[in-house]
Structure 1
Amino acid sequence: MDKPTRVLIYEDNADLRASLSQLLGGSPGLELAGALSNCTQAEADIARLQPDVVLMDIDMPGITGIEGLRRIKATTPGVNVVMLTVFDENDRVFDAICAGADGYLLKKTPPAKLLEAIGEVRAGGAPMTPAIARQVLKLFPRVPPRAVPDESPANLSAREQEILGLLVEGYSYKMIAADRGISLDTVRSHIKKIYEKLHVRSMTEAVSKALRQGLT
């Protein structure tokens, strides 16, 4: 039997923290590792609670979620961190992605979508709500590959370019499968090849590189 995915919540709003705790605690395949109001002891929290996924509020007193994200990624890069925010139009989206966020969701994301996002990030994806994905498109200037001399062309196939373009637009794996009429396993196979060709390890890295090199 597969081990449940352990999820740690950082959220300073007590009501939302309780709501998220109840949702995660009652969901099959998930286990609530902890629910904390701040990330001032992020490194120690991770070592003690051993989460697989962290849901990180971006605005907290003391230490911001972005600083907490940086600390977690510096010590335990294998832990997936999904940022939660009420905002979708500010440069903190850019800061969080540059700091290594594995996903970026609005707090108003429906519960079913939030649970799907946790599964997606564990499968190697980087869930983003469409509004966030649109902001990402604006944050990274499109430049031709020749303007980035230290990076060689990716030599993506036409299908791989299509799928990368959908990732950039914020599509989930399931949405890509439905849009292109292919199976989830086929989507995962294409994305694995995209990662290999782009020499990246996450969807945020792939999106960043695609936008910088004008690959989509």
Structure 2
Amino acid sequence: MIRVAIFDDNKTFTDNLALMFQGNADFLLSGVFPNALNALQKVARAKPDVVIMDIKMPEVSGIEAVKIIKAVNPGLQILMQTVFEDEDKVFAAICAGASGYILKGTAPDEILEAIAEVYAGGSPMSPSIARKVLSFFRSVHQPEPEFYDLSKREKEILKCLVDGQSYKMIAETCFISINTVNSHIRKIYDKLHVNSSQEAVSKALRQKLIYGSDFEGEK
């Protein structure tokens, strides 16, 4: 069971999330907080595995709260959820230590999938957010890629990660099982010398591992 705490000042929204968790044996809502004041104490009380954090809140912003929480709880997974698609806020949240970023209005089953994915070490992002991240990295001069001996299938799955796809979506895109996706991703981590999908995506973009001539030629 994944323990989840929510920081959001929109009561209607948090009530809807609470209803989503009711009757679901895989998730437990351990705390709902309308602001991020005394965030460390609230986290200590709720003992969550995953925090859903709104960006725009009174007194203390979600981005500041992420910095405060991660400084003391570096292993805690924080999933940002907001109506904002502003690049500055997206990158500020990621730099602060957020593990994923999804938009409000995301379907309930996709929210649950994102929580499970971030808990498992993934970095879920709404597709529109992933595109903004990709656009940003493409606009920055990047060093020449190193050789990591990724197979065609591994590059395909790595591209899916960059595009913000969940493990389930990757399985559907590539017509393989989720267990096979997990196996390929573990091999990708080993070859790239990373420990999470967020690190893998960052390295793929930074070193042009999937947008170089080699990958384009394999399509």
TM, length-normalised to structure 2: 0.88
1:159 maps to what in 2?
153
Higher alpha-carbon deviation: 197-206 or 109-118: 197-206
1:185 maps to what in 2?
179
Equivalent residue letter for 2:25: P
Equivalent residue letter for 2:39: A
Residue 31 of structure 1 aligns to a residue whose secondary structure is strand
Alignment size in residue pairs = 209
**Residues 197 and 41 (structure 1), Cα distance of their counterparts in 2 relative to 1, 3 Å cut:** farther
% of aligned pairs identical?
52
| Aligned counterparts of 2:112 and 2:179: Cα–Cα separation in 1 | 20
Contact 1:177/1:183 (<8 A) preserved: yes
| Aligned counterparts of 2:44 and 2:106: Cα–Cα separation in 1 | 29
Structure 2 residue corresponding to 1:55, chosen from 44, 52, 62: 52
User: Structure 1: which 5+ residue stretches go unaligned?
Assistant: none
Cα distance, 1:144 vs structure 2 = 4.9
Cα distance, 1:50 vs structure 2 = 0.8
RMSD of aligned residue pairs (Cα, Å): 1.7
| Aligned counterparts of 1:201 and 1:36: Cα–Cα separation in 2 | 31
1:7 maps to what in 2?
4
Q: In the alignment, does 2:185 pair up with 1:205?
A: no
| Aligned counterparts of 1:31 and 1:202: Cα–Cα separation in 2 | 24
Contact 1:143/1:211 (<8 A) preserved: no
Equivalent residue letter for 1:17: T
Contact 1:101/1:204 (<8 A) preserved: no
**CA displacement, residues 160-206 of structure 1 (integer Å, 9 cap, x when unaligned):** 11111111011111111111111111111111222222232222222
1:214 maps to what in 2?
208
2:166 maps to what in 1?
172
User: Structure 2: which 5+ residue stretches go unaligned?
Assistant: 211-219
Q: In the alignment, does 2:116 pair up with 1:122?
A: no
| Aligned counterparts of 1:193 and 1:73: Cα–Cα separation in 2 | 28
2:77 maps to what in 1?
80
Contact 1:82/1:104 (<8 A) preserved: yes
